[in-house]
Amino acid sequence: MTDYATLLKESGLKATFQRMNMLENIARHGHMSNDEIYEEVVKSHPSLSLATVYKNIILMVDNGVLVEVPIEGKKSKYELIKDDHIHLVCTECGEVEDKPHNENADALFTSMTKKENFSLSKQQINLYGICASCQIQEAS
Ligand SMILES: [Zn+2]
Ligand SMILES: [Zn+2]
């Protein structure tokens, strides 16, 4: 089990129970919207307000604990900071699937940014489309 208290402290944040609970839920689900995070966390912290959850999400994104995955026409999803990977994002159901990072893509970005003398600090590769199960539903 990941030590979320250490992760938070190393990122310069206080390890509150609410934050640790948020991180546990996000880790279990992979990718969650802020509303989904709130719905889960409020079960163990009933007095928690939506505004507090939103505020903590933004804070944890700013401090590099969480990563925001933008979804066209829908609310962003959030995931724990992980090794670089590629997202397959379904614009129908909002499902986000993690795919292993690709060495060829990595080499392409390295040479491209080097040529532009662009100092790359972070990257996120999101491929948007319609997932297999949504395609089945559309056809029926
Ligand atoms: Zn889908
Ligand atoms: Zn991901």
Q: Give per-residue pLDDT as tens, 32-89.
A: 999 999 999 999 999 999 999 999 999 999 999 999 999 988 999 999 999 889 999 9
Distance 67 CA to ligand 2 centre (A): 8
The neighbouring-strand residues paired with 99 are: 86
Give the Cβ contact number of residue 98 at 10 Å: 14
Ligand number with the minimum distance to the CA of 89: 1
Distance 3 CA to ligand 1 centre (A): 32
Ligand number with the minimum distance to the CA of 136: 1
Distance 14 CA to ligand 1 centre (A): 36
pLDDT at 123 over 90: no
pLDDT score, position 79: 97
pLDDT score, position 1: 53
Distance 120 CA to ligand 1 centre (A): 31
pLDDT score, position 121: 86
Average pLDDT over residues 88-94: 94
Distance 21 CA to ligand 2 centre (A): 19
Ligand number with the minimum distance to the CA of 92: 1
